Amino acid sequence: MAAVGLLDRLLAGSGVERSAVVGAGVGIPGPIDRRTGTVAQGAILPEWVGINILQRLEDALDLPVFVDNDANLGALSEVTWGPHTGISNLMFLKIGSGIGAGLILNGMPYYGNVGITGEIGHATIHEHGLVCRCGNRGCLETIASTTTMIELLSRGEDKPITPEDIVRKAVARDSATLRVVDDAGLAVGRALGNVANLINPEVIVVGGPLAGLGELLLDPIRRGLIRHAVPVIGETTTLTMSSLGDRAEALGATALVFQHAGIRRN
């Protein structure tokens, strides 16, 4: 298994004995049914659905393993390592090939009834829009995911562009890229407005591979949020880009292990 080889290389490279490892934290791009520990329908990698990732990794690594959705880990990282350690109500929104949200409510990660929370990417934005991988139409992911942006902006290109290309072209003020980013941001803001009306978060943190866009993405999201949220909620909700970059989910996985092992962060 690739994870075993990666762990061995990391230990060898850092000079750490295996006996010093207290556990492994794992984030996956999909919901986890907490009743069974299996990956639930809706994962970006459909071949993982029904697999008990935790059990497989524990058997392979011979270590305690703690698994969570990557957006949930992003939220945990923000209140553990990021600038939001004193925040009790926070949403971490990851915009990537899928769109998901992790929730911290009243100071604790929120998992709902069976663990399937934060599936904001499947909020309906256009009732008669494109068919989503979940089977519904017009979901946020069909409008604002990096997959959709890449499809739109790769037309006429020799090869598909990457999320890094989107950031680069938007910063260079490419008009088509700015339009796609603006449309995506407004759709995200609309979905966030509905969620904010329900849970009234203090902070919404945006992460994922488009974080380098900064205000180019935050501005349309903010406009959509203010337009669709109750005015006082829109005005008092802080919207910001993650300062943890592409480390957010990994840092959240570390925090998850430390929590279960009873280790306090410094």
The per-residue pLDDT for range 181-207, each reduced to its tens digit, is 999 999 999 999 999 999 999 999 999
pLDDT at 3: 83
Q: Give dist(CA 139, CA 234) in Å, integer.
A: 22
What is the H or E stretch that residue 67 is in? strand 65-69
Q: Give every CB contact of residue 35 below 8 A, 6+ residues apart in sequence.
A: 114, 115
CATH of the domain spanning 2-71+253-261: 3.30.420.40
Quick: pLDDT tens for 43-82.
677 777 888 888 888 988 899 999 999 999 999 999 999 8
Q: Which residues of the chain have pLDDT under 50?
A: none
| pLDDT value at residue 42 | 66
**Could you tell me how many helices (H) and strands (E) the chain has, helices first?**
10, 9
pLDDT for 73: 96
Give the list of residues 6+ apart from residue 226 with CB closer than 8 angstroms, or none.
189, 193, 234, 235
Report the pLDDT value the prediction gives residue 43, as an integer from 0 to 100.
Answer: 66
Enter the pTM of the model.
0.91
**238, two tokens:** 């802080």
What is the DSSP code (8-state) at residue 132?
Answer: P
Q: What is the pLDDT of residue 246?
A: 85
In the chain, which residues fall in CATH 3.30.420.40?
2-71+253-261, 74-247
- What's the CATH code, domain 74-247? 3.30.420.40
Helical residues (DSSP H) of the chain, grouped into ranges: 2-14, 53-61, 70-80, 141-144, 146-153, 163-171, 175-199, 215-228, 231-236, 248-261
Mean pLDDT of the chain: 92
Determine the Cα–Cα distance for residues 126 and 258; give it in Å rounded to an integer.
Answer: 42
Q: Do 153 and 196 form a contact (C-beta atoms < 8 A)? A: no
The tokens describing 65, both together, are 């393993």
DSSP 87: -
Element (H, E) at 204: strand 203-207
